[in-house]
Structure 1
Amino acid sequence: MADITSLLAAYDEQMRGAPRNLPSGVIWEQDGPVIRVVGKFRGFVSGPRDVEVRGAELDRLIERQRDYFAARGEAVEWSAHGHDLPENLPDRLLAAGFVPEDQETILIATVSELPAEATPPDGVHLREVAAAPDLHRIAAMESTVWGKDMSWLGDDLIGRVTAAPDDTTVLVAEADGEVVSAAWMVVNTGTEFAGLWGGSTLPAWRGKGIYRALVAARTEIASARGIRYLQVDASDDSAPILRHLGFHAVGTTTPYVWTQP
C-alpha cells in the first residue's frame, strides 16, 4: 500500500524548488517566496506549499508577477496546488484577473512497481528522437490533436534536448512513417524524480495501447537510470490509465492563467 503522505512530501520537497534542465534561452528568477520562469511561450510562476504571506501582501505578490509579464507583453501561468496555503490563494488569483484552466491530478509511481515492457500495437513502432525535424513533427501532431497552433512545442523540445540531452528523452510512436503519438521524460537532476510529459495521440489511434506502451518505455529508461519516482500532471483522460498501471493520486494542480486584455 503506497504511503500517499510520504509521496506528497517527497514531491513538495524535491519538485517545487528552482527548476532544472530549462531549455536554452529560458531562465528562472526568485521573487520572495515564488519562482518565475521567463523565456517560454508564456511565463510560469510556482512556489512552495505555503508562500507564507497573507492578505494584502499576498495580493501584491500576485499582482507583481502579473505586471512583470504584462510589461513583457506575455501571458503568465500560476500553478496552484490543491493542498497549498493559504487556502484562499485561488480566490486571490481570481481577483487579480487570473483564470483557471482544467484541473489536473498529481500522480506519482515508484519505478520498481511499474510494468516496464513496452509492447505497442501491430504496425506501430516506438523510436527515440532528438533531431529538430522530428521534434517539429511532434509539434505538428500535437497541433492536430488539440486543434490549435502548437508550433512553439517544437522549439521548446529542441531547447530542452539541447540544454540537457542526457536528462531529456523524447519518444515518438509512428505508423507508416506518420507520428501518431509522442511523449517525453525529463529527469529532475539532483532529485529522485523524473517527470512524464506528452502522450497525446491522434484520434484514430486511441484505445490501442499506445499511451501505455509509451509509459512502459519511459519506465524502462527510468529504471536503467536509477530513478526512484515518476510523476505526471494527468488529465482526466490519462489519470485512469496511469492509476491502473500503478500510479497513485497524491493531489491536484490547477493552472491559473492571466492573459493580456
Structure 2
Amino acid sequence: MIHPLLAAYDAQLRTDAETAHALSSTVSGPLRMAVFPGGRGFVSSAALQDADAAQIAALVEMVVEHFGAQEGITEVEWKTRGHDRAPGLVEALTVHGFVAEEPESIMIGEAGVLAQEVAVPDGIRIRRARTDADVWAMEEMQGAVFGDPHWKVRAETTMQRLRADDDVELWIAEADGRIVSAGRLEPVGGTEFAGLWGGATLGDWRGRGIYRALTAERARSALARGKRYLHSDSTEFSRPILERSGLIKVSTTTPYVWTPPAD
C-alpha cells in the first residue's frame, strides 16, 4: 500500500505546481515539458503505468524532438521517481542520450513536527534574506557548495521573484556577516505543501546544528502560511538531517539529463 504522505505528494505536487515558475510550459499526453531560465528544460509526468515500453520510447523521442527544435536549450532534465511503474523508461532515456545523475530521496513530513526549538550555535544569526546583496551572496555560497556553474543565472531569477512579491522565502545563517548556510521555503499554491530547497552549508560549518535550525525556522514559517506538509528532494548530505528533524523518506527521484548536440 502506498504511504499516505506519498499519496498526497503524487496527488498534489505532480501537477502544474511543478512548472509554476517556468518561462513556458507544454502538456502533451501524460508529460509536462517546461523551460526555465538559463535554457534549462524540464520533463515530468503524473503517471506512466498505463503505457507500454513502445509507447514510452515514443514519448522520449518526442521530448528530444521538442527541445531539440528550440534555440537556447542548454540541458533537459527528465525527473523520474523510484515508485513509478514505467516499463522501458530508463532504457529509452539511455538510448536517446540521457545520463543519470545521483538519485535523491523524496522526503516528506508534517510541518508541525519540524517546527521544533533547535539550539543555534553561538555567533550564528538566522534571518530572512530580502535584499539583492543577500540573494547574490547566498546563491554564490550555494553555487560553491554544489559546484553549480549557473549560480549567477539562478541569483538573477531569484531576485526577480522577490521583486515580484513571489511567495518564495530565503533563509540564511550568518557568522560575522558571512553566509555559512542557506535554504529556500517555497509554498506551493493550491496545495497543503511547501518545499524545502537549496539547503547548503559550507564544509567547515557542518555538524553544528545550523541546517537543522534553518529547517525549523522554515517549518514555523510554513505553518504560519497554512501549510501542513514539507517536502524536499534530498542528497545524502541533507537526508540524515531532515530525518532527525522529522521528515520521512517515501521514495527516490533520479534526474536523467540530456544535453543538446553542439552545432
Q: TM-score, normalised by structure 1?
A: 0.91
Shift of 1:118: 4.7
Indicate the residue corresponding to 1:218 in structure 2: 218
For residue 67 of structure 1, report the CA deviation from its aligned partner.
Answer: 2.3
- Measured against aligned partners, the alpha-carbon deviations of 1:98-154 in whole angstroms (never above 9, x if no partner) come to 101010010100112224325321111111123222111112112222334222221
The 5-angstrom pairing of residues 36-115 of structure 1 reads 36-41=33-38, 42-50=40-48, 52-71=50-69, 72-74=71-73, 75-115=75-115
User: What is the aligned partner in structure 2 of residue 27 from structure 1?
Assistant: 24
Q: Is the 8 A contact 2:19 2:34 kept in 1?
A: no
> Match for residue 200 of structure 2?
200
**Does the 8 Å contact 1:21/1:160 carry over to 2?**
no
The letter of the residue matching 1:11 is: Y
| Shift in alpha-carbon separation, 1:147–1:58, aligned structure 2, 3 A | closer
Structure 1's 66 and 245: CA in aligned 2 closer, same or farther, altered over 3 A? same
**1:83 CA displacement:** 1.3
Give the Cα–Cα distance (whole angstroms) in 2 for the partners of residues 147 and 232 of structure 1: 20
Question: Does residue 151 of the first structure (1) align with residue 152 of the second (2)?
Answer: yes
- TM-score, L = length of structure 2: 0.90
Counterpart residue type for residue 172 of structure 2: V
SS in 1 for 2:27: strand
Give the Cα–Cα distance (whole angstroms) in 2 for the partners of residues 76 and 180 of structure 1: 30
State how far apart, in whole Å, the 1-side matches of 2:234 and 2:129 are: 23
Shift of 1:244: 1.5
Aligned 1:227-246 pairs, distance under 5 A: 227-246=227-246
**Number of positions where the alignment pairs a residue of Structure 1 with one of Structure 2:** 257
User: Does the C-alpha gap of structure 1 residues 246 and 94 become closer, same or farther in structure 2, counting only changes over 3 Å?
Assistant: same
Unaligned 5+ segments in structure 1 are none
- Alpha-carbon distance between aligned partners in 2 of 1:240 and 1:118, rounded to the nearest angstrom: 16
Q: 1:158 to 1:47 in 2, by over 3 A?
A: same
Report how far residue 40 of structure 1 moved: 2.7
SS at 2:59 equivalent: helix
| Paired amino acid for 1:212 | R
1:190 alignment partner in structure 2: 190
Residues 32 and 228 of structure 1: CA distance in aligned 2, closer, same or farther (over 3 Å): same
**Inter-CA distance 135–26: structure 2 relative to 1 (3 Å threshold):** same
State the Cα distance separating 1:51 from its structure 2 match. Answer: 5.9
For 1:50, the aligned partner's letter is L
CA contact (8 A) 1:21 1:164 kept: no
State whether structure 2 residue 130 is matched by structure 1 residue 123: no
- What is the CA–CA distance in structure 2 between the aligned matches of 1:78 and 1:162, rounded to whole Å? 30
1:10 paired with 2:3, answer no
Question: Which segments of 5 or more consecutive residues in structure 2 lack a partner in the other structure?
Answer: none
CA RMSD of aligned residues (A): 2.0
Moved more, 94-103 or 136-145: 136-145
Q: Aligned partners of 1:197 and 1:144: how far apart in 2?
A: 16
Residue pair 2:100, 2:257 contacting (<8 A) in 1 also: yes
